[in-house]
Structure 1
Amino acid sequence: MDRVPFLSMVFMFISCIVGFAIPIILFIYFRKKKHADIAPFFIGVIVFIFFAMFLESSVHRAVFALPFGETIKNNVILYALYGGLMAAIFEETGRLVAFKFILGKNRDKNINACMYGAGHGGFEAASVLGLTMIGSLALSVSINNGLISTILDNVGGNDLTQLKDTVNTLTMSPSYIFLLGIVERIFAVILQISLSVLVWSSVKGKRYLFIAALLIHFVADTLIVILNGFHVPLIFVELIFGVISIIVALFSRKIYVEEC
Structure 2
Amino acid sequence: MNLQTISGISILGMFFTLAVSIGIPVALLLYLYIRKRAKLTSFFIGAGVFFVMAMVLEQTLHVAVLSAAKEELTANIWAFAAYGGLAAALFEETGRYIAMRYLMKKNLDTENALMYGAGHGGFEAILIVGMMCINNIVMSIMINTGGMESTLMALDEEVREVTIQQLSALWTTPDYVFYLSGVERLCAIVLQIALSILMYCGVRYGRKVYVALAFGIHFLVDFITVLSADYMELVLVEGIVIVLTVLTAALTYRIWKGEVAK
TM over 0.5: yes
Q: Do residues 174 (structure 1) and 174 (structure 2) align?
A: yes
1:132-143 alignment to 2 at 5 Å? 132-140=132-140
Q: In 2 relative to 1, CA 171–112 (structure 1 residues): closer, same or farther, beyond 3 Å?
A: same
Corresponding position of 1:226: 227
Corresponding position of 1:153: 158
Corresponding position of 1:216: 217
Corresponding position of 2:197: 197
**Aligned partners of 1:22 and 1:125 also within 8 Å:** no
Deviant stretches of 4+, over 6 Å = none
**Aligned partners of 1:142 and 1:148 also within 8 Å:** no
Corresponding position of 2:44: 42
Q: Do residues 32 (structure 1) and 37 (structure 2) align?
A: no
Corresponding position of 1:105: 106
CA distance in 1, matches of 2:171, 2:110: 46
**1:244 is matched by which residue type in structure 2?**
L
Corresponding position of 1:87: 88
**Aligned partners of 2:14 and 2:133 also within 8 Å:** yes
Helix, strand or coil at the partner of 2:207: coil
* Shift in Å, 1:229: 2.5
Residue-pair matches, total: 252
C-alpha RMSD of matched pairs (Å)? 2.6
* Shift in Å, 1:51: 0.4
Helix, strand or coil at the partner of 2:180: helix
TM-score normalised by the chain length of structure 1: 0.87
Corresponding position of 2:252: 252
* Shift in Å, 1:19: 1.4
* Shift in Å, 1:134: 2.2
CA distance in 1, matches of 2:79, 2:30: 40
* Shift in Å, 1:10: 3.0
**Aligned partners of 2:20 and 2:186 also within 8 Å:** no
* Shift in Å, 1:228: 1.8
Q: Do residues 187 (structure 1) and 202 (structure 2) align?
A: no
Unaligned runs of 5+ in 1: none
* Shift in Å, 1:151: 8.8
**Aligned partners of 1:52 and 1:91 also within 8 Å:** yes
Q: In 2 relative to 1, CA 84–148 (structure 1 residues): closer, same or farther, beyond 3 Å?
A: farther
Helix, strand or coil at the partner of 1:176: helix
Unaligned runs of 5+ in 2: none
* Shift in Å, 1:173: 2.3
Percent identical pairs in the alignment equals: 36
Indicate the structure (1 or 2) with the bigger Cα radius of gyration. 2
